[in-house]
Structures are given as C-alpha cells and as structure tokens.
Homo-oligomer: A and B are copies of this chain.
Amino acid sequence: MEHISGIEARERIINASRQLFSQKGYDATRVNDIAKAANVNKALIYYYFKSKEDILDFMVNSLLDNAVSLTLDFIQKNIVHLIENGYLDIRPDRLHFANGEAVNQFMQNALKFNEQLLDYVIENREIIRILMLESLKSGKHRKSLFRLMDYLSGSEKNPIYKTISDVDRDFVFSDEMVLFEFFFSILPIVNFAAYYDEYKAAGSLSDQELRDSFLRVTQVICASMISGSDILLRNNSIKL
C-alpha cells in the first residue's frame, strides 16, 4: 500500500476512526473497518497507536483541550475587561451590568462567541458525538463531558474560575447557576452538535436557518441571565 496522497497514514487512521466511532459507537467499531476505511494495513494502526482505546483517548483529549482554550479566550477578551472597568458584577443569581450600553456590548460579544463555538462544535460534531456516547457509559471517558462542567465550578484549578476570580474577588458560582449553565447552555450545544445531522434530516431548515435559529435561542437563554430580565432564578417571581 502506497502513500496514496499527501495525507499521512496516521492522519487517515484518525479520520477513519472519528467517522466510524461517531457512526457506530466505539464498541461497535472494528479495527478491521478502520484499517479498510483508512486504507492502511491493520498492523500499522498498532504501529501508531497502542490500542483501539488509545485512538479514542487521543481524539477526546484533543477536543476537550480545544474547547476549553476557545472558552478561555472569550472570557479573557470580554468578561475580564467588563469586570475590570466596573461594567459587570457577577452575582449568584444574575449578571448585573452598569448600564444598557454594557449589556449591549456583552450580548454582542456573547453572540460572537456563541457563533464561533457553534461553528466549532458543528465542525467537530463527530467527535462530540463520540464524547457524548462515551460519557454515557461507565468507562474511562464517563467523566469527560463533565470536565466541561468543572469549568463552571469554583476551584483554584479551574482556569476559567481563576481568570474571573482574579478581577472579581467576591465572585462565586452558585450551584443553581452551574446547573442552569450546564443543562441549558452547554448540554444543548453539545446535543445540537451531536444530533445536528439527525435534526437536519428530520426538519426542513437549511444549514443557515438551523444555525441562526439555534443562535437566537442561545441569545434568549443568555439574556435570561442578565439582571432586568423578568425571568429569574431562585427566590424570585416564579415559585414552585
């Protein structure tokens, strides 16, 4: 078997694995099939990776690393700046902005971030699917998805927390805010990516419409966290 194109064998193995893991799940994917799809000798897979699981680990880790750096970048460029200048105060229940101007700027930047994030997850939806699949099982990657949630918690090890904490000493994540963020922000995005193709096949929206619709709702959710919105969390107008 020759170097068919410039894409190196190792690269082809990763691509084929991603596609197959994403389609059939890790367990149902056969190393044989990866070899065929990647057009390499089966043994070569073991030349580059210690085991089938090693391929999975590699992919999961790269994804998480990327997602986190994307988020950190946003916070660094936006939240930090607003807090430093006194335009934003993060309280347990809401984000409090100094004025409408600050709100507008935040919402605009949030939109940009969400657009960027959405594009990233849609592009990487195969790995996201794998990540979800594995996080639902009891194996090694059960907690992988929850690593994302860790970035919503207040630990010194959490770079996101630390970044905000450095400029806002009083800052604290409330449990309910974390839950809200996780189940109504992170997971919807992850789900959106994971079920993107399914959803598109089922619905009538185009790529662009689908993306925009989702973004709009994302902004709604985002807005609901801002003080002044009549949608409130705990101890507020809505009683259980």
Contacts and interface: CB of A to CB of B under 8 A. Distances in A.
B24 A138 contact: yes
Interface in A116-133: 129, 132-133
A183 B238 contact: no
Contacts of A176: 213, 216-217
Copies in the complex: 4
Interface residues of A, number: 62
A217 B212 CA distance: 23
Nearest to A234: B216
A172 to B, nearest CB: 13
Contact of A179 (B146, B203, B240): B203
Main secondary structure of the interface of A (DSSP, over half): helix
A198 B143 contact: yes
Contacts of A231: 220, 223-224, 229, 231
Given A136-B133, A175-B205, A191 B198 contact: no
A146 B183 contact: no
Contacts of A111: 240
A24 B139 contact: yes
A137 B194 CA distance: 10
A192 B183 contact: yes
A188 interface: yes
Interface of A: 23-25, 27-28, 107, 111, 129, 132-133, 135-139, 142-143, 145-146, 149-150, 175-176, 178-180, 182-184, 187-188, 191-192, 194-195, 198-199, 202-205, 209-210, 212-217, 219-221, 223-224, 229-234, 238, 240
